[in-house]
Amino acid sequence: MLKHLWKTDRKLIDLTHTLNASVPTWNGSCGFEQALKMDYEQGCRVQAIKMHAGVGTHMDAPSHFIRDGLSVADIPLENLIVPVCVLDVSNKCHPLYMISEADILAYEKTFQQIPEKCLVIAYTGWDKYWQTPSKYRNQNKNGHMEFPGFSKKAAEMLVERNVAGIGIDTLSPDGSDMTFPVHHTILGSGGYIIENLTQCNQLPPMGAYVITLPLKAENGTESAIRAVGLV
């Protein structure tokens, strides 16, 4: 299957936000820092990077929530270079929107049943707020963040489909539900989660591939990734 990926007419889509010190983060604090350790006058420029593991466009491994779950280093490569199905709900999204079983069934009625071992991405359009962290985090008057996500029932349906993982263009596929049922469901099944994707509207609903490679960090529960779509 993978031999079909490298055709010369493939279009590459960068699904990854650029990291800097002002990117939106879960707790609102700086999640990424670069420090200069040497400069050109000393021979070359050398930087030190300090960041949260789950900053920017990143992957949650099963071990993030599940004791003895796979770490980012243990996820098989064949689960990281996979076909992608894109659920476009951007035309009806609002801060409390949760992707439902009906959304998945409507997608499958239009295209086909979501195949095993694919990545299912929700395109909500929320990435348009990335450059405005306060809007991207969208805290209400009680300090509770509000942004689109998946419902638990939708996550359970995708586990039944035996997907490799799910992705979304928000801080979390659980949206405003801070009990994290989607994390428990997807990661508990051995799948992974990708958060803070961008430009997912440039992917077709079906037929493309996505490469999502985390740092190969021993015992890593999360990792920044470079996610690339092949159309």
Are the C-beta atoms of 156 and 150 separated by less than 8 Å? Answer: no
pLDDT digits (tens, 9 = 90+) for 155-174: 999 999 999 999 999 999 99
How many whole angstroms separate alpha carbon 192 and alpha carbon 64?
Answer: 9
CA distances from 28 to 66, 130, 135, 137, 224 (A): 25, 13, 12, 8, 17
Query: At residue 3, does pLDDT exceed 80?
Result: no
For residue 39, what is the DSSP state? -
What are the respective helix, strand and coil percentages of the chain, to the nearest 5? 25, 30, 50
Query: At residue 38, does pLDDT exceed 70?
Result: yes
Stretch 197-209: mean pLDDT: 97
How many whole angstroms separate alpha carbon 55 and alpha carbon 226?
Answer: 12
Are the C-beta atoms of 59 and 164 separated by less than 8 Å? Answer: no
Read off the tokens for 158. 């995708």
CA distances from 75 to 7, 81, 169 (A): 26, 11, 22
Q: What values do phi and psi take at 223, rounded to 5?
A: -160, 140
Element (H, E) at 46: strand 46-51
Stretch 216-225: mean pLDDT: 96
Read off the tokens for 146. 């509000």
For the chain, what is the radius of gyration of the CA atoms? 18
- Does the global pTM surpass 0.85? yes
Query: At residue 74, does pLDDT exceed 70?
Result: yes
Would you call 95 exposed, middle or buried from its count of C-beta atoms within 10 A (0-12, 13-18, 19+)?
middle
Q: At what angle do helices 101-110 and 152-160 cross, to 10 degrees?
A: 40
Q: How confident is the model at residue 5 (pLDDT cuts 50, 70, 90)?
A: low
